[in-house]
Amino acid sequence: MATTAEKMERDQKLEGIGCSRKRKEDPRFIQGKGNYVDDINLPGTLFSAVVRSPYAHARIKSINKAKALALPGVRAVLTADDLKPLKLHWMPTLAGDVQAVLADEKVCFQYQEVAVVIADNRYIAADGVDLVEVEYEPLPALVDPHKAMTADAPIIREDLIGKDEAGQGKRKHNNHIFTWEVGDKAGTDKVFSGAEVTVKQAMLNPRVHPCPLETCGCVASFDKVRGDLTVYITSQAPHIVRTVVSLLSGLPESKIRVISPDIGGGFGNKVGVYPGYVTAIVASIVLGRPVKWIESRIENLSTTAFARDYHMVGELAADKNGRIKALRVNVLADHGAFNSHAQPTKWPAGLFSICTGSYDIPTAYVKVDGVYTNKAPGGVAYRCSFRVTEAVHLIERMIDILAQKLNIDKAEIRLRNFIKPEQFPYKSALGWEYDSGNYPAALKKVMEAVDYAGLRKEQAEKRKRGELMGIGICTFTEIVGAGPSKACDVLGVGMFDSCEIRVHPTGSAIARMGTISTGQAHETTYAQIIATELGLPSEVIQVEEGDTDTAPYGLGTYGSRSTPVGGAATANAARKIRDKARKIAAHLLEVSPDDLDWEIDRFKVKGVPGQEKTMKEIAWAAYNNVPAGMEMGLEAVEYYDPPNFTYPFGAYLCVLDIDRYTGETKVRRFYALDDCGTRINPMIIEGQIHGGLTEAYAVAMGQLIAFDADGNHLSNSLMDYFVPTAVETPKWETDFTVTPSPHHPLGAKGVAESPHVGGIPCFTNAVNDAFSHLGVTQIEMPHTAYNVWKTIHELGVDKRA
Amino acid sequence: MQVKLEKTFPIAAPAANAWRLLQDIKAVAECMPGAQITEQTDSTHFKGQVKMRVGPASATFNGELEVKSLDPNEKKMEMLGKGTDTSGASAATMNLIAQVRDSGDGRCELIGVSDVSVSGKMANFGGRMMIQVSDQILKQFGDNFATRVIAMGEGAAAEQAAAAVAQQPKELNALALIWHALLGFFKNLFGGGKSQGG
């Protein structure tokens, strides 16, 4: 019999689930040996640069490319007129709309793509851009979404005039995209009309940008002889790109190879298909040479997809004890000039209806109206599942506002309203089935860790002295892992994901997935899952993603779906292999498969010590000695269609101090407890939490994509757009509880987005809390020192005695 | 992005001369650093260019100028200028109302009210410096205008002014402008220049 110590040693050697194994990717990243799209240098590569509109709204009167074409080294200049014969001047979006690839007679946002210059090198391409002469007739710009549906609003999309729908149901105005409703309107209205207490608050999740370190780009290479196309691309969803390129170009998918190499951060920005990609591909097909397009930072911030821009009005109905009876939400969503919202096809507001949050709210109603404005298109999930940040923001602000009105402590009101542990699986008023959770335990653990009562006491004393101290709480529930194909698809493809594992004769393995890491260390964590499931050391398990020629079809990585969907596919594929291995082991040991027990890395005959076969031995046998009638080899593929989403949750608490004269905010403490079910690599989880909290800090305290009244972009360089460095970033304290998902093969949930989704409301709740004793109910983000100072000054808090 | 600026330039020369110069659109345009009228399309419409240099990079703005009104009684002129750089990456419009007021004693002043609006790259990056830079451009315009008016007279001052007109730079040096704007910004910030005497 193996002793416990021996078993532990064998288990540790695998470095499987639960091990804080170091990231396999890091040696190459920290040595500058990563292989990003811009590192791809094919012989004879040409470079593409984009001519962009200086106006937010204008008619194009003429484009003169003669001077650019005359520049030595310029190979081609493409405009909408050149793409028209190919029917490629417009392209479909993920949201059922169309988007101009190159502006067709009209530009609808500043920096919109008007023409591309293809040249021998980047410098000539950039010089060529300056030589393309475009004559514009400026039109009035529509910047404020609240004015989008007025009678005299300028019409942005002339191509849609007379069309009463734009891919998402009926529209009621030329600038209207859709109305989306969910919940029980009549029932909700009835609860509100008879409620003991109601609160109502308008709030804004302002337009921000994911701003990944690496901007978007691609290298398209069409081989005229072989007739096939290879595209290296910064994509979080390479298989979807292949399908889209096939549909647009008419090339069969088998002639298209899309490769996402190392990606320097995605955060939703790299989900969409952008004109820069399409024009590089067209140019390569036309010229028969590789064409590279790499976005500048300015282009990234001003054209490729933004996030949020949700103008929300929330209402809660409750009794006098703060027990919530109903939620009503009206949202105006600014989608920019084209509806290229990132979403499962049928969800024009993504998963926003998770906005009942962690609370047992019996009745709810949500209405979202999407409108066009003269701004860049997008609406991606910036480190969150589709629109979940907005949903959590809404409910977490509203419950604070209700607490303030009723003078109930902000932690106490949450404890009174939480869905109780025994209520899971819990069906929400807006139709979601929460898989598992233990919300009171999480919040109580945090309150104890930070001495919550002591902090409130300190705050009360400081308030007497006129000092500003804020305590923010956020007890969020996320919905991640899109998603069950009965509910979710992208362009008609169900949102499953996949894994294919091959075990080699000597007991090492290669695994390929339909997801793609953008920095999350999939090579490390997927190998850990396989290590535990197959009893092979994770060190010898090679994980490959991102090459559509080798990886099985998958929907990619966003919305924290890799572990919930890809991870489940990996576990199931490994289990198929283990099932086959059991049969081989039984054959080798001359027993029935039922007589075998699995133990860490081997099958053992029940009750017969020493009669065992390790997975390494079984792998060898799979290639020379299998039971009669069995195929040789040891491999499996799994396409996993999740039965449900996973619902990770957490309890966050932020303590901050505000200088009453300058508005400068110092985060004194940030305590983040996350529950993502089974933890595969705790070190990587902690890293994810640190990253997500830092991006939450960025959004809450500084990030904003702003425009002037003419639609000029005011935030498209890092001089204006806030990206926190180690200098600004607060210290993070992390903690966890483990409530496994009952439907996931490993009990795991997504995690990378929780800190972003939960962090933003926590910061803004803390800033608002600092002023709540002065009657303030809503101070909008970003909480820059200047914005905070304005509030201070209006309230007269900075008056010196 | 829009900025409204009002400025008054004292000129050590008679109002009649200043008004005479103000009606000479070509000469007025050339008071703008780097600006030049290239073509007159009709009695009130002109085409022109502004050459701009930022370090080693230079850009040319092509524009149109329309004289909207000329009022001899009020000695007042209103014009509208529109320009885009040749690549179309930035655009600017300026509505200028300029008026000559006699201050007696053979002197006068030029009062300028301008609405400047810019779009494109200039609005994206120039935004926070626009007031300061526009202020500097107008100041140079005022200086050049005054010099030219004085040069229309006689005597040593006029000869000196005429020489200065000849030396006027043919390009708008944006770096120098930004430098002056920055100096102005810091002076304002620390209250320098105005309060030091007191």
Does residue A229 sit in helix, strand or coil?
strand
| pLDDT reported for residue A308 | 97
Contacts of A134 in chain B (CB under 8 A): 87-88
Does the beta carbon of A138 lie under 8 angstroms from any beta carbon of chain B?
Answer: yes
The angle, 0 to 180 degrees and rounded to 10, between the axes of the packed helices A754-772 and A785-795 is 20
Above 80 in pLDDT, residue A579? yes
Q: Which residue has the tokens 């949450």?
A: A414
Percentages of chain A per state (helix, strand, coil), in multiples of 5 = 30, 25, 45
Does residue A580 sit in helix, strand or coil?
helix
Does residue A568 sit in helix, strand or coil?
helix
> Looking at A139-148, A744-753, B54-63, which range is the least confident one?
B54-63
Task: Report if residue B162 sits inside a domain.
Answer: yes
Above 60 in pLDDT, residue A774? yes
| pLDDT reported for residue B14 | 92
Q: What is the DSSP letter of A748?
A: B
pLDDT bin (cut points 50, 70, 90) of residue B197 is: very low
Cβ contact B120–A717 (<8 Å) = no
Cβ contact B117–A130 (<8 Å) = no
Cβ contact B88–A710 (<8 Å) = no
Helix (H) or strand (E) holding A697, with range, is helix A682-701
Task: Report if residue B196 sits inside a domain.
Answer: no
Residue A425 tokens read as 């699986």
Above 80 in pLDDT, residue B56? no
pLDDT bin (cut points 50, 70, 90) of residue A783 is: very high
Above 60 in pLDDT, residue A269? yes
> For chain B, what is the domain count?
1
Alpha helices in B12-155 (DSSP H): 15-23, 25-31, 121-126, 130-151
What distance in Å separates the CA atoms of residue A266 and residue A752, rounded to the nearest whole number? 12
| pLDDT reported for residue B174 | 63
Residue type, A350: G
Task: Report if residue B192 sits inside a domain.
Answer: no
Answer whether A373's CB lies under 8 Å from A379's CB.
no
Of B88, B90, B125, the CB nearest to A134: B88
Domains, chain A, ordered by start: 4-34+497-640 (3.30.365.10), 37-139+215-263+270-302 (3.90.1170.50), 310-482+644-795 (3.30.365.10)
- Is the peptide bond preceding residue A782 cis, with omega within 30 degrees of 0? yes
Structural domain that includes position B165: 2-185
Give the start-end residues of each E strand in A408-467. Answer: 426-427, 433-434
Answer whether A526's CB lies under 8 Å from A566's CB.
yes
Nearest to A123 by CA among A131, A114, A115, A113: A131
Does the beta carbon of B80 lie under 8 angstroms from any beta carbon of chain A?
Answer: no
- The CATH number of the domain holding residue B86 is 3.30.530.20
What chain B residue is nearest to A130 in terms of C-alpha separation?
B87
Task: Report if residue B194 sits inside a domain.
Answer: no
Does the beta carbon of A139 lie under 8 angstroms from any beta carbon of chain B?
Answer: no
| pLDDT tens sequence across A754-768 | 999 999 999 999 999
| pLDDT tens sequence across B140-177 | 888 889 999 999 888 888 888 888 877 776 666 666 66
- What separation in angstroms does the CA of A292 have from each of A48, A111, A217, A536? 6, 20, 7, 41
Cβ contact A136–B88 (<8 Å) = yes
Of A54, A131, A133, the CB nearest to B121: A54
Task: Measure in Å the smallest separation between the Cα of B122 and chain A Cα atoms.
Answer: 9
Cβ contact B90–A54 (<8 Å) = yes
What distance in Å separates the CA atoms of residue A753 and residue A757, rounded to the nearest whole number? 6
| pLDDT reported for residue B195 | 40
Does residue A261 sit in helix, strand or coil?
coil
| pLDDT reported for residue B196 | 38
CA A673 to centroid of chain Cα atoms: 20
Contacts of A300 in chain B (CB under 8 A): none
Answer whether A397's CB lies under 8 Å from A202's CB.
no
Task: Measure in Å the smallest separation between the Cα of A708 and chain B Cα atoms.
Answer: 6
Task: Measure in Å the smallest separation between the Cα of A133 and chain B Cα atoms.
Answer: 5
Does the beta carbon of B55 lie under 8 angstroms from any beta carbon of chain A?
Answer: no
Nearest to A414 by CA among A548, A483, A307, A316: A316
Whole-number mean pLDDT of chain A? 96
| pLDDT tens sequence across A581-616 | 999 999 999 999 999 999 999 999 999 999 999 999
What distance in Å separates the CA atoms of residue B77 and residue A795, rounded to the nearest whole number? 47
Q: HSE-up of A72 (CA within 13 Å, CB side)?
A: 0
Q: Is the dihedral of CA A158, A159, A164, A165 positive or negative?
A: negative
The angle, 0 to 180 degrees and rounded to 10, between the axes of the packed helices B130-151 and B174-189 is 110
| pLDDT reported for residue B127 | 64
Cβ contact A54–B119 (<8 Å) = yes
Task: Measure in Å the smallest separation between the Cα of B1 and chain A Cα atoms.
Answer: 6
Longest dimension (CA), chain B: 54
| pLDDT reported for residue B95 | 87
Does the beta carbon of B90 lie under 8 angstroms from any beta carbon of chain A?
Answer: yes
What distance in Å separates the CA atoms of residue A330 and residue A318, rounded to the nearest whole number? 18
Cβ contact A710–B84 (<8 Å) = no
Above 80 in pLDDT, residue B55? no
| pLDDT reported for residue B128 | 67
How many CB atoms are located within 10 Å of the residue B38 CB?
12
- Rounded to the nearest 10°, the torsion over CA A80, A86, A87, A92 is -90
| pLDDT reported for residue A597 | 97
How many CB atoms are located within 10 Å of the residue A200 CB?
14
* Percent of chain A residues topping a pLDDT of 90: 95
For A319-325, what is the mean pLDDT?
A: 98
Task: Report if residue B191 sits inside a domain.
Answer: no
pLDDT bin (cut points 50, 70, 90) of residue B194 is: very low
The angle, 0 to 180 degrees and rounded to 10, between the axes of the packed helices A754-772 and A388-406 is 30
| pLDDT tens sequence across B73-117 | 999 999 898 888 766 677 788 888 999 999 988 899 999 888 888
| pLDDT tens sequence across A516-561 | 999 999 999 999 999 999 999 999 999 999 999 999 999 999 989 9
Does residue A114 sit in helix, strand or coil?
strand
Does the beta carbon of A303 lie under 8 angstroms from any beta carbon of chain B?
Answer: no
Task: Report if residue B193 sits inside a domain.
Answer: no
Of B88, B89, B124, the CB nearest to A716: B124
How many CB atoms are located within 10 Å of the residue A69 CB?
15
| Catalytic residue positions of A, numbered | 236, 383-384, 753
Concatenating the DSSP letter of every residue in A520-558 gives S-HHHHHHHHHHHHHT--GGGEEEEESBTTTSPP---S-
Does residue A578 sit in helix, strand or coil?
helix
Task: Measure in Å the smallest separation between the Cα of A132 and chain B Cα atoms.
Answer: 6
Residue A59 tokens read as 């008619």
Answer whether A344's CB lies under 8 Å from A428's CB.
no
In A, residues 43-62, which contact B (CB 8 Å cutoff)? 51-56
What distance in Å separates the CA atoms of residue A774 and residue A429, rounded to the nearest whole number? 34
Answer whether A567's CB lies under 8 Å from A490's CB.
no
Strand partners, A47: A119, A292
| pLDDT tens sequence across A730-751 | 999 999 999 999 999 999 999 9
List of residues 6+ apart from A211 with CB closer than 8 A: A267, A269, A300, A301, A703, A721, A723
Cβ contact A714–B125 (<8 Å) = no
- Is the peptide bond preceding residue A425 cis, with omega within 30 degrees of 0? yes
What chain B residue is nearest to A706 in terms of C-alpha separation?
B124
| pLDDT reported for residue A20 | 97
How many CB atoms are located within 10 Å of the residue A147 CB?
14
Cβ contact B87–A131 (<8 Å) = yes
What distance in Å separates the CA atoms of residue A135 and residue A313, rounded to the nearest whole number? 42
First to last CA, chain A: 80
| pLDDT reported for residue B53 | 66
Does the beta carbon of A710 lie under 8 angstroms from any beta carbon of chain B?
Answer: yes
CA A362 to centroid of chain Cα atoms: 29
Answer whether A428's CB lies under 8 Å from A360's CB.
no
Instruction: Produce one character per residue of B17-27: b if its CB has 16 or more CB atoms within 10 Å, e if not.
Output: bbbebbeebeb
For A620-648, what is the mean pLDDT?
A: 97
How many CB atoms are located within 10 Å of the residue A190 CB?
14
What distance in Å separates the CA atoms of residue A326 and residue A196, rounded to the nearest whole number? 12
| pLDDT reported for residue B193 | 45
Cβ contact B124–A135 (<8 Å) = no
Whole-number mean pLDDT of chain B? 80
Does the beta carbon of B89 lie under 8 angstroms from any beta carbon of chain A?
Answer: yes
Rg (CA), chain A: 28
Residue A465 tokens read as 């002295």
Q: Which residue out of B64, B85, B119, B122 would a mutagenesis test of the A interface target, given it has the greatest number of A Cβ atoms within 10 Å? A: B119
Cβ contact A712–B1 (<8 Å) = yes
Task: Report if residue B156 sits inside a domain.
Answer: yes
pTM reported for the whole predicted model = 0.92
Task: Report if residue B190 sits inside a domain.
Answer: no
Above 80 in pLDDT, residue A491? yes
What distance in Å separates the CA atoms of residue A28 and residue A26, rounded to the nearest whole number? 5
How many CB atoms are located within 10 Å of the residue A73 CB?
14
